[in-house]
Structure 1
Amino acid sequence: MSAPHTVVVIGASFGGLPVAHALLKDVLPASGKDYKLVLINPSEEFYWKIGAPRAITRPSKLPLEKALLNFLPTFQKYGDKFQFIKGKATQIEPTARTVSVSTGDQVHYDQLVIASGTYFDSDIWSTSRGTDALRKEVEELHAALPNAQTILIGGGGAAGVETAGELGDEYGGKKEITILSGGSRLLGRLQAQKPGQTAQQMLEKMGVTVTHNVQVKSTEKQGDKTLLHLSNGETKTVDVYIGATGDKPNNEFVPKEWLNEKGRVQTDEHTLRVNAPGATGVYCCGTVGSYSDGSIMDTKMGYTACVESIRLDLDGQGKLTASFPSTADANMKPDHGARTKKIYKKFKSEVQIVPVGSQQGVGIAFGWGLPSFMIKMAKSKDFMIGNAAKLIEGQA
């Protein structure tokens, strides 16, 4: 008997889970082939990291158990067409078309989806090093916060602002809370300056000190305190330090020739096929891809294009031949395969919603500033936790 057509998905978060469900529900059964889907991930739990700022700082308002959900039961309905390997992908071998895993497994792929996302220096933001590491760090933070007198958040992006807002809500005026922005303003990734300025005003009213143009360069644990070495040459000792910056692409297993200068997987921005030598039948969905600016929107709205490209290539309408020509002629361009109306069209306008505590927030959509009450309704109330269960079911 011939081996089944095997699709391997690396990563089980905002990109990998929706792709896996869509393939198993519709695409693979309609192909007429004997098939199997293998999902590789360090944990069997999905982390709703959208809610992390509240889950890590205010467990009474958002318990970690609500943000960390076991996704395996949602795949039971697919029977033996689905296989889960709990481990980290360690190497992709394009010639043999295999993925090696930290468990010792070596899995053949006919089609491969890279959806490994990003990782942080701190385990409180992702499950890239497994759920145990995340739980341990969050539990330590929960134990330290009530008695802490000095708290510092490193990073003035959305995660840092949201975390500072949660702490301001809970402890403003009772503890010394500081947020360091490495740039000249908060939310520096946005071209629009108003959201960051408004967020700073909100935080300061909550009793949070905002300091710009200073970064945490390194940290040292000194008993139950942390010594911070800052970019301005100063040091500061605090009871609790929360790093909220520096996410990096989870790419150590990806062939180097598949990565761009920023370490992202070279991905066609419309079809989400990987554009690199030897990347035959390989796709990328999520923040590890070069098409993404790191937003969950790029993942959520791009996954349908990824699934459609897989379907086309499975049906023979696309190209499962090498995506780059063998010649060194620089004028020749890779064949990206067939396209349909389901290609991904990236938003050119900025869209970001940032709660600053549970009652307010800042945001921008398509060039328009969003009023605080809209942010409260959309996200501040519960960080959209109700969508977590829908996502792991393949419904969101």
Structure 2
Amino acid sequence: MSENIQVVVLGGGYGGVKAANRLARRAGLSVTLVNPRPDFVERIRLHQLVTGSDDAVESFGELLGRNVRLVVGTATLIEPVERRVTLAGGDTLAYDYLVYAVGSGASAPDVPGAAEFAHMVADLDGARRLREALADTPSTAPVTVVGAGLTGVETAAELAETGRLVTLVCGGVLGPSLHARGRRPVARRLAALGVRVLEGPGTRVTEVTRDAVRLEDGRDVAGAVTVWTAGFRVPGLAAYSGLTTDAHGRLVTDPTLTSVDDDRIVAAGDAGVITGRPVRMSCQAAVQLGTGAAGTILRRIAGKSPSPVRLLFAGQCLSLGREEGVTQFSYLDDRVNALHLSGRPAAGVKEIACRSTLRQLVSGARKASSRPVRDDGLGPRRNVPA
């Protein structure tokens, strides 16, 4: 197989776009990206959408190369034997290789009343509904944010900076992915913004009502709007299609990101998990996984064995409103260390991280829009025939 190889990429997030653009640079490949909506969602800015400081949406016209075909739709079934994907509505797409990059979203909380009364901020539609709900709520009314991961902390700070009365219910430790020293400036900034932080034993939410949440220790926390940021889920497409998944529904892969069931299916982003090596869900990981997934496919097309994907991490950046933030540094394997940056400089680092990630995708689109070249996944070399 050397020409007219069909590659289908399921999912137009950070990993999917990165993989599609890299693959589209090779001559003889036809790349189709399937995504439920016609625009790219900057998930790392969804908390800004809630308060109106950003719309968190970019055009695929800027982020996808001209050699990538965009299909707006949702995959409902993968048939590995037939090498075929079925879309909602009945259309099908044949593939020679498939990139599984369907991403993740907010998990449906297994807490009474949460599905009915709580708002999500992990996807575009949820963030937009939350913004509308806040617009219909008096600015003096209390808001409760459930979940003290990075999304919860950023959302709480963003709302408080606009003057909202915010309570952050941690259900455990504030900022569990941060080093203990990195949590301190987060706590100080939240306190300065007037955020009431409830953490430690007994703060797990056991029930959500229209105007309050009930905690494990029996306390009721009033809130005209409840924002649920605890937990993520992945679509059930892989499991429904009979592929091996873990307990969270993620496609199980080997170290080259290849499905343990089928060497024509490669994962990128939150919806995949490497056997024995779980990776923290993040855009920092997704862009590297997208590159790795493309490299695995390109090496197989060239008749070479793919190499294990190596991921390198620098740390975690979080914004605490528009004026301050915290940058938590880590070792290259994503283990956090005591080094951190806080205040206005850290807010600048977070903004640079957001913009540079988008610039990576734009750069990839430009390369994919140029005349395709032979690429075996080994990187640039001299005298490679076009």
TM-score range (shorter-chain normalised) is: 0.7 to 0.9
Q: Give 1:169's aligned residue.
A: 161
Match of 1:187 among 157, 172, 175: 175
Letter in 2 for 1:137: R
Calculate the aligned-residue CA RMSD, in Å: 2.7
What does 1:352-367 align with in structure 2 at a 5 Å threshold?
352-366=316-330, 367=337
Code of the aligned partner of 2:310: K
Displacement of 1:390 = 5.1
Structure 2 length-normalised TM: 0.79
Residue matched to 1:312: 299
Corresponding residue to 1:394 among 334, 347, 364 = 364
Q: 1:235 to 1:3 in 2, by over 3 A?
A: farther
- Please point out which of 30, 38, 47 is paired with 2:41: 47
- Closer, same or farther: CA 73–376 of 1 in aligned 2, 3 Å: closer
Q: 2:381 corresponds to which residue? A: none
Larger relative contact order (Cα-Cα within 8 Å, sequence gap ≥ 6): 2
| Rounded Cα–Cα distance in structure 2 between residues aligned with 1:40 and 1:77 | 15
* C-alpha distance in 2 between matches for 1:296 and 1:42: 19
Identical columns (%): 23
Counterparts of 2:11 and 2:153, CA distance in 1:
27
SS of 1:125's partner is coil
Residue type of the partner of 1:15?
G
- Alignment CA distance shift 1:138-1:68 (3 Å): farther
1:344 and 2:309 matched = yes
State how 1:230-241 maps to structure 2 within 5 Å: 230-241=215-226
Identify which of 94, 100, 119 aligns with 1:108. Answer: 94
Q: Alignment length, in residue pairs?
A: 340
- Paired AA for residue 208 in structure 2: T
Q: Which amino acid aligns with 2:7?
A: V
Q: Structure 1 CA distance, aligned partners of 2:81 and 2:229?
A: 39
Secondary structure at the counterpart of residue 85 of structure 1: strand
Structure 2: segments with no counterpart, 5+ residues: 109-118, 331-336, 367-386
CA contact (8 A) 1:251 1:288 kept: no
Residue deviations 1:253-292 (CA, integer Å, cap 9, x gap): 44344202332211223x2222x22x13110011111132
CA distance in 1, matches of 2:175, 2:315: 12
In 2 relative to 1, CA 76–20 (structure 1 residues): closer, same or farther, beyond 3 Å?
closer
Structure 2 residue aligned with 1:205, among 177, 192, 200?
A: 192
Shift of 1:165: 1.4
Tell me, yes or no, if the aligned pair for 1:161 and 1:356 is still in contact at 8 Å: yes
Distance, in Å, in 2 between the alignment partners of 1:386 and 1:22 is: 17
> 1 CA distance for matches of 2:177 and 2:182?
11
Once the two structures are superposed, the pairs formed by residues 113-132 of structure 1 within 5 Å of their partners are 113-120=99-106, 121=108, 122=119, 124-127=121-124
Distance 1:100 1:253, change over 3 A: farther
| Counterpart in the other structure of 2:230 | 245
What amino acid is aligned across from residue 270 of structure 2 in structure 1? T
Q: 3-state SS of the aligned residue for 1:308?
A: helix
Q: CA deviation at 1:243?
A: 1.4
Unpaired runs of 5+ residues, structure 1, are 128-132, 319-337
SS of the residue corresponding to residue 112 of structure 1 reads: strand
Q: Secondary structure at the match of 2:309?
A: coil
Could you tell me how far 1:46 is from its partner in structure 2? 0.9
Please state how far the C-alpha of 1:302 moved relative to its aligned partner: 2.6
